[in-house]
Amino acid sequence: MSRIKQFDLPDLGEGLTEGEILKWLVQVGDVIELNQPIVEVETAKAAVEIPAKWGGQVQAIFHPEGATVEVGTAIIAIDTEPAAGPAAEPTGPVPAPSRSESPQPEIPPPGGAIEPGMIGGPAPGGRTAVLVGYGPRTTAAKRRPRRTVGELAQPAVPVAVSTGPLTAEPAPTEPAPAGPGPAGPAAKALAKPPVRKLARDLGVDLAGLRGSGPLGSVTRDDVLRASEQAGSAQAGSAAPLSGSDREQRIPVKGVRRLTAENMVASAFTAPHVTEFLTVDLTRSMKALDRIRSQPDWQGIKVSPLLMVARAMLLAARRHPLVNSTWAGDEIVVKEYVNLGIAAATERGLIVPNIKDAGRLTTRELAEAMADLVRTAKAGRTAPADMAGGTMTVTNVGVFGVDSGTPILPPGESAILAIGTIRKAPWVHKEKIRIRQVATLALSFDHRIIDGELGSAFLRDVGAFLTDPEAALLAWT
C-alpha cells in the first residue's frame, strides 16, 4: 500500500452531500499530526474544521478556497512516512511539489494513483478525531502563516497550494500594469475571493484586466485602479448606466439556501395559523432583575427570552399535543422537548435546539441558551445540534419590531415569537398604568393543533409571563 494517502471530504452527517472550502489551515510541505485541523469547510448548516486522518507531510491540495466539493471527493494528499525519504513516484501524475520545489505541470487527480486507506499505529497521546461541535477539540500543532492563492483558470483540474510563488511559468520581473487584456471568451481571471467580491461590488469586469500579482493574478489595487479609470470615463460620457450596472448578485448557497428550501417546504406543506396575544411582562422583568442579583447567577446571561422559553416548556406539559409531528397517517407526540432557538448569524438564520430542554433547571436552561447562541454566532454549530427540534422560540423584538408571523421549522408543529418589550399605558388593578408589554405570536400546524388548543397554549404562556410566581405554584 502506498504511503501517500488520499484524504476525502468526510460525511458530515444529516444528509449533507457537499461543502464549501472556506480556509486551508495547512500548506503543501507542512508536517502535520493526526487529528490536526487541516481545513475549514462550510456546509449548508454550519462551518466545521476537519481534522487530519493521518499524520505526515502534505503532498498536494486538490481544491482552492471557495470551491464546493462533494462528500467523498479527495481534497488533500498526505505522505504518511516523510522520514523514509522521497516517496516512490506513483504510476499516474505526480503530486504537487513541496514548498522548496518548483511546481510541476501535472498533479494527481482525486481517485488516481494515490491510494486511499489508513496507516497503523496510534497518534501521539492517543487522541481521537473529532469535528468541531461534536466533542472537545484536540490540541493542534502550531500552524504556520498561510498565504492563499486565487482560483485557477481551469477549476476541473486539481489545485496544488504551496507557499512558494504561484507559477506554472516564470513570473514577470516587473508587475504588469492593470488594464484591458487579451483574455479570450473562455478565459477566467485569476483572483482571490475577496478581490472577486470587490470587483462585483464596484462593477469591474475581471476578465478585462491584466493583473499585477503572481501568475498575472488580479490584486485589490488592480481592481481599484480599474474602477477609478472607469469612473473617469463615465464622468466624461453622457451615456446613462444600464440597470445591470447597478445590480448586485449574491449566490444562494450554504445556510441561506437550506433555510430557503426549508421555509418553502414548510409554508406549502403545513397549513399555518398564527394567533397573537399582547401581555403585561412587568412582573417577569422584575423577576429577571431579582435573578440577576443573586450571587449564584453572576456571569450568566438572563434575558426575557429565558422567561418565554420556560413558559413554553411549562405550557407544553399542560398541552402535550402541541409538541408533536405530523407523520402522514399518524401524529407523533413527543414526550421530550428539543427547544429550538432561532439565531441570526452572518451566514443566515439557523435554528439549533437544546436537547430535552424540559428536564433542565432554569439556571441550566439559561446556560444552554447562552452557549447555543454564542456557538451559532461563531459559525460553529454542529449539524446534530440543528436536528430533531420539536418546537421553537424566536425573539423578533431584538430587531425593534412588535410582532410577526413566524414560519414553522420543518417537522415541528409550533413556533412562538416575542416582539419588542415596550412601556405602554395598560389597565392594571382598574387603573391606567405604565407597564412593560409585548406581543406574542404563535404559529402552529392546523392539521394537528386546532384553534382551541392553540389558543389555550398561547393563553397559558401569556399567563406565566404575566405572573410567573403564581404560575410556578399552580403548575408545578
Residues with a catalytic annotation lie at 446
29: left (phi over 0), alpha (psi -120 to 50) or beta: left
d(C-alpha 24, C-alpha 63), whole Å: 10
d(C-alpha 63, C-alpha 299), whole Å: 43
Three cell numbers written together for 71? 462528500
Per the listing, cell 506554472 goes with 168
SS3 320: helix
CB atoms within 10 A of CB 63: 24
d(C-alpha 6, C-alpha 107), whole Å: 13
- The CA angle 65-68-70, to the nearest 5 degrees, is 130
Contact 177, 210 (CB under 8 A): yes
d(C-alpha 340, C-alpha 357), whole Å: 9
405 exposure class (CB count in 10 Å sphere: 0-12, 13-18, 19+): middle
Contact 278, 357 (CB under 8 A): no
DSSP element (H, E) containing 224: helix 220-235
Total count of residues recorded for the chain: 476
